[in-house]
């Protein structure tokens, strides 16, 4: 019997998860839909963004939401030269840890910049909202340099 | 926070894994035979176990399997489950039976659908046969066999399941 040609087939495995947010992340996402960013105050007074449900030190339930600024500072970043299909932007961009004004810990998001040289640690950035906000992390389309 | 709007309680977070599946040498030969309407396995040169679908080697002995063996359309139910929960995008309406069937001449089972049966009557050791699609529709695909259906033959004792020769019960 002759050996057939190599057999190839595209195959997509999809897990169509719907995740429950819980009350704290639910509040955060609800605020995003309204174009606000909220963090939560921990027992040591730090404002944590995105908010977490339990205190990092005492494990107590947290509930004191704090609105933070829509501008912040790049704490660190990684430049993505060749964005992949799943990435939030289709041109080169930066993943960055951004400490929003009024927050005490940085939050990861993407930063639009003309080139790798245009962004630096300490750079000021501000939120760019999506045209339509739906209560999802991508309501923040990206951050841009101020 | 606006009070007219509902609070967010869920997010859609699907994960899609995109593969380019390459069959490999042994499965490619198996699928080429399936396209011709023939079910084939491969026999281990050491322990004589016949694998279907063949992977090209014997898991037990760790040796390559090359000898190809034509298997029967008749098979035995080794185990089964009745599916009651609908699976998204699956056109088959529950309840239906998914069974592990061992074709006569093979020593391991593969999973396939059962039909033309009363679900409650299906049992381990039941004799079944492959119902193939019309020849024009044959492709390099396991669903050339549309499903397995019961046949009127005596049950196979549990300790004989997976040990029948290609000639079946009488063999």
- Across chain B, mean pLDDT equals 93
B5: in domain: no
Please count the structural domains in chain B. 2
Q: Are residues B153 and B99 in the same domain?
A: yes
Q: Are residues B67 and B81 in the same domain?
A: no
Residue B16 touches chain A, beta carbons under 8 Å: yes
* B160 backbone dihedrals φ, ψ, rounded to 5°: -105, -10
A3: in domain: no
- Cβ contact, residue pair A19, B27, below 8 Å: no
- Strand pairing partners for A98? A74, A107
Residue B29 touches chain A, beta carbons under 8 Å: yes
- Cβ contact, residue pair B20, A10, below 8 Å: yes
- Cβ contact, residue pair A1, B29, below 8 Å: yes
- Cβ contact, residue pair A21, B18, below 8 Å: no
Domain end position, chosen among B33, B53, B71: B71
How high is the pLDDT of residue B171? 67
Q: Are residues B26 and B87 in the same domain?
A: no
Full residue range of the structural domain in which residue A63 is found: 22-145
Residue B127 CA to residue B75 CA, distance in Å, equals 6
Read off the pLDDT of residues B9-53 as tens digits, 9 standing for 90 and up. Answer: 999 999 999 999 998 889 999 999 999 999 999 999 999 999 999
Read off the pLDDT of residues A9-35 as tens digits, 9 standing for 90 and up. Answer: 899 998 989 999 999 999 999 999 999
Full residue range of the structural domain in which residue B155 is found: 72-163
Q: Are residues B148 and B87 in the same domain?
A: yes
- Cβ contact, residue pair B21, A8, below 8 Å: yes
- Cβ contact, residue pair A11, B19, below 8 Å: yes
Q: What is the pTM of this model?
A: 0.67
Q: Are residues B58 and B34 in the same domain?
A: yes
How high is the pLDDT of residue A3? 52
How high is the pLDDT of residue A4? 55
Q: Are residues B148 and B77 in the same domain?
A: yes
A9: in domain: no
- Name which of B14, B22, B29 is nearest A17 (Cβ-Cβ): B14
Q: Are residues B76 and B153 in the same domain?
A: yes
Q: Are residues B33 and B51 in the same domain?
A: yes
- Across chain A, mean pLDDT equals 95
Residue A133 has pLDDT above 60, yes or no: yes
Residue A48 CA to residue A117 CA, distance in Å, equals 29
For the residues A123-144, what does the mean pLDDT come to?
97
Q: Are residues B78 and B147 in the same domain?
A: yes
Residue A34 touches chain B, beta carbons under 8 Å: yes
Residue B107 has pLDDT above 90, yes or no: yes
Residue B149 has pLDDT above 70, yes or no: yes
Band (pLDDT 50/70/90 cuts) for residue B72 is: very high
B9: in domain: no
Please count the structural domains in chain A. 1
Q: Are residues B81 and B53 in the same domain?
A: no
Residue B2 has pLDDT above 70, yes or no: no
- Name which of A19, A26, A135 is nearest B13 (Cβ-Cβ): A19
How high is the pLDDT of residue A1? 46
- Name which of A1, A4, A16 is nearest B88 (Cβ-Cβ): A16
A17: in domain: no
How high is the pLDDT of residue A2? 53
Prediction ipTM score: 0.81
A11: in domain: no
- Cβ contact, residue pair A21, B10, below 8 Å: yes
8-state DSSP, A6: P
Q: Are residues B88 and B154 in the same domain?
A: yes
Q: Are residues B60 and B78 in the same domain?
A: no
- Strand pairing partners for B75? B103, B128
Read off the pLDDT of residues A39-98 as tens digits, 9 standing for 90 and up. Answer: 999 999 999 999 999 999 999 999 999 999 999 999 999 999 999 988 999 999 999 999
Domain end position, chosen among B71, B92, B111: B71
CB-based contacts of A94-97 (< 8 A; 24+ apart in sequence)? A94/A119, A96/A125, A96/A143
Residue A2 CA to residue B134 CA, distance in Å, equals 25
Residue B115 has pLDDT above 80, yes or no: yes
A131: in domain: yes
Residue B87 touches chain A, beta carbons under 8 Å: no
A59: in domain: yes
């Amino acid at each position: 019997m002759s050996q057939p040609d190599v057999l190839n087939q595209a195959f997509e495995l999809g897990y169509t998860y719907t995740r429950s947010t819980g009350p704290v992340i639910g509040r955060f996402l609800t605020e995003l839909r309204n174009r606000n960013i909220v963090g939560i105050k921990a027992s040591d007074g730090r404002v944590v963004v995105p908010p977490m449900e339990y205190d990092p030190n005492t494990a107590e339930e947290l509930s004191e939401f704090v609105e933070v600024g829509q501008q912040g500072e790049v704490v660190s970043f990684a430049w993505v030269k060749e964005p992949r299909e799943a990435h939030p932007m289709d041109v080169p961009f930066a993943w960055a840890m951004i400490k929003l004004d009024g927050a005490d810990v940085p939050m990861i998001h993407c930063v639009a910049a003309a080139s790798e040289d245009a962004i630096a640690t300490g750079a000021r950035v501000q939120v760019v909202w999506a045209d339509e906000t739906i209560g999802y992390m991508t309501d923040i389309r990206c951050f841009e340099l101020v | 926070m606006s009070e007219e709007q509902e609070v967010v309680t869920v997010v859609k977070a699907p994960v899609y894994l995109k593969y380019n599946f390459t069959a490999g040498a042994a499965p490619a030969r198996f699928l080429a035979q399936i396209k011709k309407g023939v079910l084939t396995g491969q026999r281990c040169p050491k322990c004589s176990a016949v694998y279907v679908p063949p992977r090209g080697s014997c898991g037990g002995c760790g040796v390559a399997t090359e000898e190809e063996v034509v298997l029967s359309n008749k098979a035995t139910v080794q185990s089964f489950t009745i599916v009651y929960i609908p699976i998204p995008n699956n056109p088959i309406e529950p309840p239906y039976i998914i069974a592990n069937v061992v074709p006569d001449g093979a020593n391991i089972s593969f999973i396939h659908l059962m039909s033309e049966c009363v679900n409650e009557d299906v049992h381990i050791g039941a004799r079944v046969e492959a119902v193939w699609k019309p020849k024009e529709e044959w492709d390099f695909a396991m669903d050339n066999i549309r499903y397995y259906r019961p046949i009127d033959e005596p049950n196979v004792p549990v300790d004989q399941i997976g040990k029948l020769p290609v000639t079946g019960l009488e063999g």
